[in-house]
Amino acid sequence: MGKDPIISIRGAVYSYKGAPSPALCGADLEVLPGEWVALLGANGSGKSTLAKICNALLEPTQGDCFSLSMDCRDPACVPLIRQGAALVFQNPDDQIVASIVEEDVAFGPENLGLTSGEIRRRVDRALELTGLSEHRRRGSHSLSGGQKQRLALAGALALEPKVLILDEATSMLDPEGRAALLECLRELNASGMTLIQITHIMEDIARAGRIAVMQSGRIVWDGLPADFWRGEYLRFGFDEPGELALYRELISRKMIPEGTRPIAEDMAEALCL
Ligand SMILES: Nc1ncnc2c1ncn2[C@@H]1O[C@H](COP(=O)(O)OP(=O)(O)OP(=O)(O)O)[C@@H](O)[C@H]1O
Ligand SMILES: [Mg+2]
C-alpha cells in the first residue's frame, strides 16, 4: 500500500482582493511524507500563494487542501497546520518577533504552551542545526541578512514541523551559508522531514527528489530531477547549475547511471562505484 500524501491540494483557486486575475487557477499538488520537492516557476506564477495554502495562511476560494490529513478550511485545524507545516519566507525582517536571537527562536514553542525544559531543548537544537548557537545572546536585528534567514529557519524548526516549506528562504545567504543550510536541510530530510523548497537558485534544488514547475497559477510539470535536467529546464527557461555540463558528459559516456543527481558528491560517488 502506498503512503498517504502529507499535503494534498486539488483544483486550488485563489484570487487576491482587487487583483485582475486569480493567483491560482486550479493548482494540484500531492506531496508524500519524507519527500523533498522543489517548486519552481517564474515571478508571479503563484508559488508563494500555493505555499500559503499548504500552510493554511490562505484558504482557497475553490478546490481542496489537506495538510497533515487535516482540512485547511476547518478553523480548528488551522493552528495545528501552521505549526506542523511551517513556512519560512524570503524576508527575515518580517519574521523577527523578539529582540534577542534565542528569545526569537523560543517564541513559537512558548506559544505552544510547552514546559520550559522542552522549550530550551527545542531552542538549543534549532540554533545548533542552523549554526547560530554562538549568536544566541545577540540582538536579532544586529545579525547579517544570511544570519537572519537562518534565524527565521530556526524559529520554524523549533516548532518541530513535519513539513517545512521554504519560500526563497536562502536568497540572502552567501555560497558558504547556502551550502551549510543545504546540508542542514539534507539532514532534516534524511531524518524524515518533508521539504517543499521554493527557489530561483538552481544549486538549491539539486538535492530535491522531485521538481514541480508552476506557470500562471498551475503546476504544469511535475517529475523526477533526472527528467527535468534532461531538457525540460530549457523549455521553462531555467539556468543550468554549474555541474550540469559535466553531468551530461558523464551520462552520455555512460560513466554514471541515469538517475544520478547532478550534484558533485553524487556524481563522485557514482564514478567510484
Ligand atoms: N497581496 C496580494 N495582492 C494582490 N495580488 C497579489 C498579492 N500577492 C500576490 N499577488 C499576485 O498573485 C500572483 C501570484 O503571486 P505569488 O506571489 O504567489 O507568485 P510567486 O510565484 O511567488 O512570485 P515570486 O517569484 O515573485 O515570488 C501574482 O500575479 C501577484 O502579483
Ligand atoms: Mg513568491
Cβ-contact 250, 271 below 8 angstroms: yes
- Evaluate whether residue 199 is within a structural domain: yes
Q: Is the CB of 177 under 6 A from ligand 1?
A: no
Mean pLDDT, rounded, for 92-111: 94
At 241, the pLDDT band (50, 70, 90 cuts) reads low
Percent of the chain with pLDDT over 90: 68
- Which of 130, 266, 262 has its CA nearest to residue 187? 130
Q: Tell me: the pLDDT tens digits for 132-156?
A: 999 999 999 999 888 999 999 999 9
Q: Is the CB of 197 under 6 A from ligand 1?
A: no
Tell me, yes or no, whether 35 and 79 share the same domain: yes
Tell me, yes or no, whether 84 and 201 share the same domain: yes
Mean pLDDT, rounded, for 42-61: 96
Tell me, yes or no, whether 152 and 199 share the same domain: no
Q: Is the CB of 23 under 6 A from ligand 1?
A: yes
Tell me, yes or no, whether 72 and 4 share the same domain: yes
Q: Buried b / exposed e across 203-219, counting CB within 10 Å, b at 16+?
A: bbbbbbebbbbbeebbb
pLDDT of residue 258: 83
Tell me, yes or no, whether 273 and 207 share the same domain: no
Q: Is the CB of 31 under 6 A from ligand 1?
A: no
At 234, the pLDDT band (50, 70, 90 cuts) reads confident
- Evaluate whether residue 183 is within a structural domain: no
Tell me, yes or no, whether 29 and 100 share the same domain: no
Tell me, yes or no, whether 96 and 218 share the same domain: no
* pLDDT above 80: residue 244: no
Name the E strands within 83-137: 85-88
- Which helix (H) or strand (E) segment holds residue 52: the answer is helix 47-54
Backbone Cα Rg of the chain: 19
At 202, the pLDDT band (50, 70, 90 cuts) reads confident
- Evaluate whether residue 41 is within a structural domain: yes
Mean pLDDT, rounded, for 166-186: 86
Using most ligand atoms within 8 A of CB, pick from 29, 48, 55, 87 the residue to mutate for ligand 1: 48
Q: Is the CB of 76 under 6 A from ligand 1?
A: no
- Evaluate whether residue 180 is within a structural domain: no
Atom 18 in ligand 1: residue holding the nearest Cα: 46
Please report how many Cα atoms fall inside a 13 Å half-sphere around the Cα of residue 216, on the Cβ side: 3
Percent of the chain with pLDDT over 70: 99
Atom 27 in ligand 1: residue holding the nearest Cα: 43
Q: Report the mean per-residue pLDDT for the chain.
A: 91
- Evaluate whether residue 65 is within a structural domain: yes
The CA–CA distances, whole Å, from 162 to 27, 47, 120, 233 equal 22, 20, 20, 29
Ligand 1: atom nearest CA of 45 is 21
- Which of 208, 211, 154, 201 has its CA nearest to residue 173? 201
Ligand 1: atom nearest CA of 214 is 21
CATH number for the domain spanning 201: value is: 3.40.50.300
pLDDT of residue 216: 96
Q: Is the CB of 19 under 6 A from ligand 1?
A: yes
Specify the number of domains making up the chain: 3
Cell numbers linked to 54: 499548504
Q: What distance in Å separates the CA atoms of residue 79 and residue 75, rounded to the nearest whole number?
A: 8
- Domain of 101 in residue numbering reads as 91-160
- Evaluate whether residue 128 is within a structural domain: yes
Q: Is the CB of 95 under 6 A from ligand 1?
A: no
Mean pLDDT, rounded, for 98-113: 94
Of 180 and 221, which is predicted with more confidence? 221
- Evaluate whether residue 260 is within a structural domain: yes
Q: What distance in Å separates the CA atoms of residue 25 and residue 13, rounded to the nearest whole number?
A: 5
Q: What distance in Å separates the CA atoms of residue 219 and residue 213, rounded to the nearest whole number?
A: 6
pLDDT of residue 55: 95
pLDDT of residue 1: 53
Tell me, yes or no, whether 69 and 197 share the same domain: yes
Of 69 and 207, which is predicted with more confidence? 69
Tell me, yes or no, whether 53 and 125 share the same domain: no
Tell me, yes or no, whether 80 and 101 share the same domain: no
Residues found in the chain: 273
